[in-house]
A and B are shown apart, each in its own frame.
Chain A
Amino acid sequence: DAGVIQSPRHEVTEMGQEVTLRCKPISGHDYLFWYRQTMMRGLELLIYFNNNVPIDDSGMPEDRFSAKMPNASFSTLKIQPSEPRDSAVYFCASSPRGTHNYGYTFGSGTRLTVV
């Protein structure tokens, strides 16, 4: 298994531009999570999905952020328009359902820089 795959690994964009981050979870995992990591705020849960349905989006900072999961193998996190304060590392993670495993598998992250 290739693990959780995120793309791109690095993204540099200008303020006001649209940014789309992508994630492919591990096959068979029912849960998908988007986290943001910054020095100031640590790891913040933005949103998570169960079977492609958003369950909790209370961590999404504002309307500029949106996330979708059109199918079990793909999710996107979009920022439009982007701002310098959105600069962070964005992680995607997935987890299976069941009583034997309650941890996440994380992707390598996308480092976003908004200038």
Chain B
Amino acid sequence: AQSVAQPEDQVNVAEGNPLTVKCTYSVSGNPYLFWYVQYPNRGLQFLLKYITGDNLVKGSYGFEAEFNKSQTSFHLKKPSALVSDSALYFCAVRAFLHNDYKLSFGAGTTVTVRA
């Protein structure tokens, strides 16, 4: 079984401050990890992914995420948050299993960036 935990329901930061959204995962074998963002009344949009290679992954809109295998974490970060980053963020995982493309999502973290 695979699962994702996002321990914070909400994260509030001031514009210009660093933003971190936490994610831990559980999966058998090597993980494929993803972050998605959802704006109000919209579908989920892909931000970034970790498949293999460098533990620091860079994605869209200035976001990056750090894969830490020993801590089974994949925290999303942005050095300087913008008001427009306010949205719902989902972490997702799937196992590296042949022909199994099922993604498991966390419960989501609502990010609010205040001006």
Partners in one complex: yes
Residues of A close to B51: CB separation below 8 A:
102
Contact of A42 with B45 at beta-carbon distance under 8 Å, contacts A102-B94, A103-B34 already known = no
A102 to B105, CA, bound (A): 14
> Interface code B22-56, partner A: CB below 8 Å = 1, 0 otherwise?
00000000001010100000111110010100000
Task: Name A's interface SS.
Answer: strand
Are A31 and B43 in touch, CB under 8 angstroms? Answer: no
B61 within 8 A of A: no
Rounded to whole angstroms, the CA-CA distance of A1 and B53 in the bound complex is: 30
Which B-chain residue is minimally distant from A99 (CB atoms)? B51
Looking at A33, A43, A105, the one whose CB has the most chain B CB atoms below 10 A away is A43
B100: shortest Cβ distance to chain A, in Å?
Answer: 8
> Which A residues touch B11, using CB under 8 A?
none
A to B CB contacts below 8 Å, 18 in the list: A33-B103, A42-B105, A42-B106, A42-B107, A43-B90, A43-B105, A45-B102, A45-B104, A48-B101, A50-B101, A91-B43, A91-B44, A93-B43, A102-B51, A104-B44, A104-B46, A106-B44, A108-B42
> Which residues of A approach B to under 8 Å, CB–CB?
4, 31, 33, 42-43, 45, 48, 50, 56, 91, 93, 95, 97, 102-109
